[in-house]
Amino acid sequence: MVGLESALRVVHQSMVETGMLEWSDVARVLSTTPARIGQLDGFGSLEVGRPAHVTLYDPTVHGVFTEADLHGRSRNSPYLGRDLPGRVQWTIHGGVVTVDDGELVQEPGSPEVPQ
């Protein structure tokens, strides 16, 4: 989906750095509430024996958002060339690592992500 690659970094810059939201609000707005609305079971808490859904984000780094950050078919974003804070370091979805040390993990058998 267009915009997911930049969403957390843009919210960090525009909402957290300005004091409009706390990190707990970001988790609620970008994760917990959408999961509840979509009736997705297991999101919003970590429980032993249940598949994890977690994003580990480093808010201390900054970098320019480039086309290399886009992983969908679209090659456009209003944030290209903009210095944005943070970096998604790891993402675990359903217990499966999907981003490892900032790099998208290609699952075996899944179609290639166009570059």
Residue-wise pLDDT tens digits, 53-80: 899 999 999 999 999 888 888 888 999 9
pLDDT surpassing 90 at residue 19:
yes
10 or 5: which carries more pLDDT confidence? 10
Is there a domain that residue 67 lies in?
yes
CB neighbourhood size of 100 (10 A): 12
pLDDT surpassing 70 at residue 99:
yes
Domain residue limits at 23 = 4-104
Compute the radius of gyration of the chain from its Cα atoms: 15
Token pair 């780094």 in the structure block, residue: 61
d(CA 25, CA 14): 13
pLDDT surpassing 70 at residue 111:
no
Is there a domain that residue 113 lies in?
no
Is there a domain that residue 111 lies in?
no
What's the total number of domains in the chain? 1
Mean pLDDT value across residues 13-34? 95
| 2, 77 contact by CB (below 8 A) | yes
The whole-chain average pLDDT of the chain stands at 87
Is there a domain that residue 33 lies in?
yes
CB neighbourhood size of 5 (10 A): 20
Is there a domain that residue 109 lies in?
no
d(CA 104, CA 15): 26
pLDDT at 61: 95
d(CA 47, CA 65): 34
Which CATH number goes with the domain that contains 24?
Answer: 2.30.40
